[in-house]
Each structure stands twice: as C-alpha cells, then as structure tokens.
Structure 1
Amino acid sequence: MRWPWPDPRAAALLAPLLMTAAPAAVARPDAATLYSQRCAACHGAERLGGRGPALLPENMGRLRPPQAGAVIARGRPATQMPGFADTLSPPEIEALTAFIYSPAPPDLRWGATEIEETRSVLVPPERLPARPVFDADPLNLFVVVETGDHHATVLDGDRFAPIHRFPTRPALHGGPKFSPDGRFVYLMSRDGWVTKYDLYSLQPVAEVRAGVNSRNVALSSDGRFVAVANYLPHSLVLLDAGDLSVKRVVPAVALRGGATSRVSAVYDARPRRSFIVAMKDIPEVWEVSYDDNAPPVYTGLVHSHEKGMVEGLAASAGLFALRRIAVEEPLDDFMFDPPYRSLLGSAREGGRTVVVNLTVGRPVATVPLEGLPHLGSGITWMREGRRLLATPHLKEPQVSVIDMANWGVVARIPTDGPGFFLRSHERTPYAWTDSMMGGPGARDTIQVIDKRSLEVVRRLRPAPGRTAAHVEFTRDGRHALVSVWEDDGAVVVYDAESFEEVARLPMRRPSGKYNVFNKITLSEGTSH
C-alpha cells in the first residue's frame, strides 16, 4: 500500500475506464451494470470501498440522495471523484443514485480473514526515531482533523503554528486516540480504516480496515489493544495496538434470542482495565476486559430463591472476558463518572438518562433529561465540595447540570441554541459550549459558562454567520481553541481568561482538535 492515500497517480490510470463513452440511453437503465462499468473500479464490486469510500446507505452519513446525485454528476473537489454529467444521462444518474442507497449485500462478510487481508505495516518499529523530529513540546500538540479536504494538521500548542499536515482516509469519524506516552495517534474513518500515525516522525506506520461502517475506536490504558465499534457488520473488533493485527472479532449478538446489533460506541474504562461497549439495537451494555487475570464472568443468569442472589455458569475469564449488563432499552450514548464506577447512558428516542452501576452490573437511577443529551460530550468538575456533571442537548437550547451524589438536576442553563460540544479544563473556572445545532443567529455562537455561578457570562462569535464548534484547551488550560466549522474555516485561539483572540489559523472544515496531554491524562474538561 502506498501513502499518502489516495495515490494521485491512480486518477491517470483509472481515467480511461471512468470516462468511456456513455452507453445508449435506455428507458430503464440497468443500475447494476452502470455501477460495474463506472464505479466498481474505485468503490469495489460490492460497494464496500476500495480507492474510494464504501457506497452503502450506512456509509453516506448526512449525504441525502439528491446531494449524492449531484456528486455523481459534477464530481467532488479535492478528491479523485470525477463528474459524469457529460457521459451519463439524467435517468442513468438517478438509477445509480438509487442503487448506492440500496441495502448492503445480505451475505456480507468482514471477519478476521477479510480484515487481515487489508492490513499493512508501513514503517517497522526499528526504523522509527527515538525522539521527535521537531522542537515543540510533544505533549502539547494538537491533532486537528480537517474534513474539508480529508487532512489532519499537527499543531504546536505553544506557538500555535502548524508543524505538519498530512492526508487521511476520507470521513474520519470519532475522536482520535493517543497511546499512553502520547507518541502514537490512532485515526478511524467511517469506512472502518484504522491508521496508526507516529507523531514523533510525522508518518503513518500501520493501517487496517476493521469494518465496513465503523463508529469509533478506543485504546486500552496499557496501550496494548485497539477496540473498534462497527455498525456494519455487527461486531466489535479487537486489534493489537502495535501492528494492528486482529486479536479477536466479537459478533454483537444478544444473550437471548440471537438478535444482532450495531455497535454504537466503545470507550476505555482505565481503572477497570476494560472496554465498555454500547449497543444500538439490543438492551445490553458490554464490558470486555483486557486484564489477563480478569475473574470469571457469568452468563445464563437465573435467580435463586433459596439464596436470594443471581448465579449462573462461568462463560469466560482472563483476557477479553465478556460481561453483559441488561438495561431496559439500548443506550447509544454515554459517559463515565471519574472513578469509572458508573456510566450515564441515553437512548436516541428516550427522555431520560439511565445511571448504570458497573460494579453491581445494573441500572441504579434515572435522570429526567429531555432533548437528547449529548453525554459523550459531557464534563465534570467540583463545586462547593460536590462533583457536578454537565451535558449539552442536541435538541434543546440548554446545558443540564447534575449532582453526581444524588443524580438530581441542579440547573438547566439556557443557551442560544442546541449544542454538540462542551469543554473545560481543571485550571479554568469556565466551561465553553457551542450552539451549532441551532439555526441562523445561534450556530455561530460560543457560550462561556461560569462553573461557579452556573450562568452564561460571555458570548463569542469567532466568525459571525458561520458555524462555531468544538472547543479544546491547551495543556496548561490558558488558551481555548475554537473551530469555525466551514470548508474555508479556521481554528481561532482565545485567551481563556480574558476571552481575547490570540491567533487565527486557516483550516479546511476543522471538525475537531485533540490535545495530547489532556487526552492521555483524562482531563475532566474533555471527552475520553
């Protein structure tokens, strides 16, 4: 496999195939034949992807059919996707559009064999330098994901200057994860490609495709394993973090009934030495241990009236032991309390948040939170001797604040519009949230909340009329970086105390910025 991807020479090689004369117009175009002739060379014979991304409904994201038809007709800038308006008739383009939104092949397989066939070790460990090739603080770097043209920028968090910019797989999805020493970053695309990138030598070192449609990755706290949550196929994939070889593929199958599920999220629970896994379609939360000495896990549970306890048969122990926790409905978004004893989860259609105690393995409380709280972006802090948790809402213009001692709602802080991200830092009294899910007049605003008074004390508009989102702090908490979330956007740096603008760096739709130190130390002000 060559890097960078895609190989610019591929366009010249594929041009004769892609641009051949259009077949004669027919009343009812054969979409499968058109796809084979025009698309399969880049996107795969079964639409699973190749040089180009997978063309399946699950992989389209927010791209609606009319927009997809426009891409087929006109192509896509900054990619190798050509336009076919001159070689295909409107009915043919319409037929192709409908074809790529048809369901995935029913016999789709993407197991250990298929995954291993995609794996590449690009740079062996012995060829990597012992020290960074730059003079910036390696723990105060930011990795900025620029989805506008599928690149990432390594940013010096002291000088606010780009160190390096490199191409990524299209449509990175889910936050990058850093190795415990901060040297490596793991990036994942919606098409399931996992790339291990060396921040010391500024180059990719390994890559593998762990799924066809994937949601996010997690890295074990000991740096040994990468876990990948897949929508398609329904599986959790465990990789060796060194060379990305497959350790185990775990089908997402319910304990009873045999129903399968999309895996909506996986996170590392550091003190528990385990991965916590959320299921989209079945009412279970999984805990997968990466402790070599994990105690036995029991399944086939029944209630003993004589003993008044739950008992069953030991299913597994040690490395990758799987524990299932039953919940009333699937929880597809969640966060942990700082000790990782409890998780708070919400369902996409539910009006409440469920507190699951991971020690006893069952729900213990509910919190009434309407408007789809985005718990994956929640943060916590101490106030007057009590630990508070705050979360934005995707469908309500507010931030909810919860007392984690009794799970009561302390405050509902009004915002200009529904938000997606909430961020802070241990060394600042403020939390910053966006209103990017709101309409005009709201989505360009960042609200600064005083964590002491629980009130909005400042509103910032980095680029009036343009979407502002995703705040991340520097290692010392002195500066906050905000994205102008547009194709010709920017990363805007603010002084976290005075709220004055310090720097503005042009970027191509900077969807997220991730500080190495804050991530590997589990800063209470950012997502983990």
Structure 2
Amino acid sequence: MTLNALPPLLFASLLALLAGCQSPGAPAERAALRGTGDLGVVVERATGSLLLVDTTEQAVLDRIEGLGDLSHASVKFSRDGRHAFVFGRDGGLSRVDLLTGEVTARVMQAGNSIGGAISQDGRLVAVANYAPGGVRVFDSETLAPVAEIPATYRAEDGSRQRAKVVGLVDAPGNRFVYSLFDAGEIRLLDMSGESPTERRFTAIGEQPYDALIDPTGRYYLAGLFGEDGLALLDLWHPERGVQRILPDYGRGEERLPVYKMPHLEGWALANGSAWLPAVGRHEVLVADEADWTLVDRIAVQGQPVFVMSRPDERQVWVNFAHPDNDVVQVIDTESREVVSTLSPGEAVLHMEFTPRGEHVWISARDSDRVRVYDTRTFEVLAELASESPSGIFFTDRAHRIGL
C-alpha cells in the first residue's frame, strides 16, 4: 500500500509523527520557545536598565540596558505581551522585545516626559510630555511619528503657554485622556478617525497632578494638588462635563508637608468602594463607588503613595512617602482595618501583584532588592538583587484598560 492510499486521518497522523523526528537539536530549540504571560520587568532607575523577570519562577532572566533616564519611568505592553514600551523621564521612548532582550526601536521625542499609553487596538503609543508640554503619538511597530498635540492654553496674562501633561491614559474607542497641570484642564483626544480630534474641559480644578481611569474605561478621575477633591469625567456622557467629587475631605484641617505626590494610577476599586491616597495626610480615603461620596478615612502610618487592590479585592496594599517609606501596610477591605505592617526594605517605591493575586512583588530602591510576598501568609518567598529598583510591571497589564 502506498502512502497516498492511506485513509486521510491516518495519513495526517503519520505526517505529524515524521515531522517530529528531527535533528537532536530540535527538542532544545522547542524548549527555548515560551509564552510571555508570566514575564515582567523591573525598572532600575539609577542605571537606565530593566530586569526581565519570570513571575512563576520568581527569577531574573536578563538585564536590558541603554534605556536612558529612568528616574520616573513607566512601562506599557503590546497586545501580545511580547514588547515593552519604556517611557523615560528624559523624553526617550523605547520598544523592547522581551523574548530576545533587545531594544528594537528608540526615539528621543521630547525633553521631559511623564509616561504614556497604548491605544485600544494596539497600533498607537501616546506619550505625555512636560517639555515641551503636549502629547505625541507614534506607530507602535516602528515608533514613527503619527501626531503631535501641543497642550496650549491661555494664561491669566493673556499669553499663550504650553502646559505640563499628566495623567495620560488610554480609553475605549482608540481615545486618550489626559490633564494639564498648569491650565486646570482635562482633554479627550480621539485617534479613531483619519485625523486627531480633541475635546477640552476647562476649569476642572487647581493643578491636576495625576489621574486614572477605572477598569471599565468609563470614569476618568484627576487628583487636584492645589485644592481638596477630585475631578471626574464620565466618558459615557462627556457632554455632561466634569463633576467635582469628594470636595470637602480634610477641609479645615492643617495639611502636612507633601514629600512625594501620591499616585492615583495605583488606586484601588475594591468591595464596592474606591480607595484613594489623601494628599498631605496620613489617611486612605474610601469613597462609595456608586455616588463617589466619602464613606471612611482610614488612618495609616504615613502619607500614602500607592493604594493598590489585590486582584480578588479582599486586600488593599499601601506604601508611603518619606520618612515612612520603609514599610507597607495591608488593609482588609471588609473590616477596613490595617491587618499587617511589613518591612520590605529602604525606600519602597512600587508594588505589583501577580495576575491572580497570590503574590506581590515590592521594590526597595535603597536596599537594592525586590521582595516577593505571599499575600495570604505575608511570608517572604524570594528576594532578588536589583540596582535601585523602582517600577515593577507584569505583562498581564497588556489586557487591562489604563495600565
């Protein structure tokens, strides 16, 4: 009987078997193939490098260098989780292949940058710039420029100025939302058409310093440094304008010196509430997610910087500004009580949960280490050496709005 005379199913099976009988090197080559779902990076701010890490093995795989000033760097991921886009403080935008450990593209696109975002379809990368103030948009495959949107506004003296852009996030519909620190504005940039269109919301409050978008992509909230409260934009109904929420928290109380601006990008939505860092106070604020009214103020050890929810929403983890930045506190979202105080090292800068929340990675810049904790027992599972580590970013962020 010839091969062609075999039944089709048996013939296909035989071909698959023969294809597997390759040279001795083939199994090793196949073993080198891997997915990207358990990869992540740790920013090494002092050396302009990234540590490529495996979150399953809790191990360092590689160090990627030559990324410029990473003193306030953030990282976003491509849709397939293979490429990391690194936004440097010096205006550098780099595209890194996580499987090869190579910088595949890099542009110096501004003089001072503060982060960026990737569009819903993954085709565009937007960068928020302090100097010159504005947003620049690039092709995610090549980093070729696509659009430049200056953050111009009219100052009190009538002159035209450019504002620092903060709080840039992606929104559904290939849109980006951001705030203008100097102008007190929120702007909605739509990149879904043939040319960019921009919608402006003015007089939203004094000095918006950071912002976030909720996991559904509906609500954009800007924190206000110049006054108490936050500014809320409902992206389902932008025609309703910006709403002021939590306008009275801390009103009449003396504010402490602010040693580090809190990061609203690390806020938490948990157990039906929004958990936010209070500016200049040793408190975590709890607001009702339905109407944004303040329902509780939880005393903590220092001025919160990141207030982050474990993925199952049972816990909120909090780190702090100087001089209390050597501890992390854990709040139970049901009892609203601090249930643990940990000491990961000197100058804790960032935390990142594994996708299902069983572990959390914490960077301690001045101790040159990253610690991995079991979030149920608070046991230290691993300790990784790192040069001045700051931000930690895992590839599951590629599939989440605003991250």
Q: Per the shorter chain, which TM-score range? A: 0.7 to 0.9
- What corresponds to 2:120 in structure 1? 221
Contact 1:215 1:231 in 2 (8 A): yes
- What corresponds to 2:14 in structure 1? none
Return the offset for 1:137.
4.5
- What corresponds to 1:348 in structure 2? 225
Contact 1:335 1:345 in 2 (8 A): yes
Farther-moved stretch of structure 1 (159-168 vs 318-327): 318-327
- What corresponds to 1:470 in structure 2? 350
Structure 1's unaligned 5+ residue stretches are: 1-130, 293-317
Matched residue SS, 2:127: strand
- What corresponds to 1:81 in structure 2? none
Measured at CA, do residues 373 and 207 of structure 1 come closer, stay the same or move farther in structure 2, by a change above 3 Å?
Answer: closer
- What corresponds to 1:117 in structure 2? none
Residue 324 (structure 1) aligned with residue 200 (structure 2): yes
Aligned 1:196-345 pairs, distance under 5 A = 196-254=95-153, 259-292=160-193, 318-329=194-205, 330-345=207-222
Task: Return the match for 2:293 from 389, 408, 416.
Answer: 408
Q: 1:362-399 CA deviation, whole Å, 9 max, x = no partner? A: 12232134567542321212x2xxx3111223521111
Q: 1:138-171 CA deviation, whole Å, 9 max, x = no partner? A: 1111110011322110000001111110113332
Contact 2:134 2:163 in 1 (8 A): yes
Contact 1:416 1:438 in 2 (8 A): no
Measured at CA, do residues 489 and 373 of structure 1 come closer, stay the same or move farther in structure 2, by a change above 3 Å?
Answer: closer
Return the offset for 1:494.
0.7
Residue 156 (structure 1) aligned with residue 156 (structure 2): no
C-alpha distance in structure 2 between counterparts of 1:245 and 1:343, whole Å: 28
Structure with more of its chain in helix, by fraction = 1
Return the offset for 1:345.
1.4
Contact 2:120 2:174 in 1 (8 A): yes
C-alpha distance in structure 2 between counterparts of 1:365 and 1:280, whole Å: 16
- What corresponds to 1:459 in structure 2? 341
- What corresponds to 2:283 in structure 1? 398
- What corresponds to 1:360 in structure 2? 238
Structure 2's unaligned 5+ residue stretches are: 1-28, 256-260
C-alpha distance in structure 1 between counterparts of 2:326 and 2:63, whole Å: 26
> How many aligned residue pairs are there?
359
Return the offset for 1:247.
1.0
Contact 2:116 2:169 in 1 (8 A): no
Q: 1:186-229 CA deviation, whole Å, 9 max, x = no partner? A: 11211111001111222111111110111111111211111111
Return the offset for 1:284.
2.2
Aligned 1:30-41 pairs, distance under 5 A = none
Return the offset for 1:259.
2.5
Return the offset for 1:428.
5.5
- What corresponds to 1:380 in structure 2? 269
- What corresponds to 1:167 in structure 2? 65
Return the offset for 1:492.
0.5
Contact 2:167 2:211 in 1 (8 A): no
C-alpha distance in structure 2 between counterparts of 1:484 and 1:373, whole Å: 17
Measured at CA, do residues 376 and 132 of structure 1 come closer, stay the same or move farther in structure 2, by a change above 3 Å?
Answer: farther
Contact 2:128 2:168 in 1 (8 A): no
Counterpart AA for 1:350: E
Matched residue SS, 2:37: helix
Contact 1:422 1:471 in 2 (8 A): no
Counterpart AA for 1:444: D
TM-score by length of 2: 0.83
Q: Which has the higher contact order (CA 8 A, sep 6+)?
A: 2
C-alpha distance in structure 2 between counterparts of 1:412 and 1:271, whole Å: 32
- What corresponds to 2:6 in structure 1? none
C-alpha distance in structure 1 between counterparts of 2:52 and 2:109, whole Å: 25
Counterpart AA for 1:432: W
Return the offset for 1:255.
7.2
Counterpart AA for 2:390: S
Matched residue SS, 1:269: strand
Aligned 1:38-117 pairs, distance under 5 A = none
Task: Return the match for 2:92 from 160, 177, 193.
Answer: 193
Counterpart AA for 1:270: A
Counterpart AA for 1:263: K
Aligned 1:416-455 pairs, distance under 5 A = 416-427=301-312, 429-435=314-320, 437-439=321-323, 442-455=324-337
TM-score by length of 1: 0.64
Structure with more of its chain in strand, by fraction = 2
Farther-moved stretch of structure 1 (331-340 vs 368-377): 368-377
Counterpart AA for 2:166: A
C-alpha distance in structure 1 between counterparts of 2:32 and 2:387, whole Å: 24
Measured at CA, do residues 404 and 272 of structure 1 come closer, stay the same or move farther in structure 2, by a change above 3 Å?
Answer: farther
C-alpha distance in structure 2 between counterparts of 1:263 and 1:132, whole Å: 48
Contact 2:167 2:222 in 1 (8 A): no
C-alpha distance in structure 1 between counterparts of 2:147 and 2:89, whole Å: 20
C-alpha distance in structure 2 between counterparts of 1:365 and 1:141, whole Å: 39
Farther-moved stretch of structure 1 (264-273 vs 137-146): 264-273
Matched residue SS, 2:265: helix
Contact 2:229 2:244 in 1 (8 A): no
C-alpha distance in structure 2 between counterparts of 1:266 and 1:380, whole Å: 18
Matched residue SS, 2:172: helix
Return the offset for 1:353.
1.3
Contact 2:175 2:192 in 1 (8 A): yes
Matched residue SS, 2:189: strand
Contact 2:310 2:353 in 1 (8 A): yes
- What corresponds to 1:36 in structure 2? none
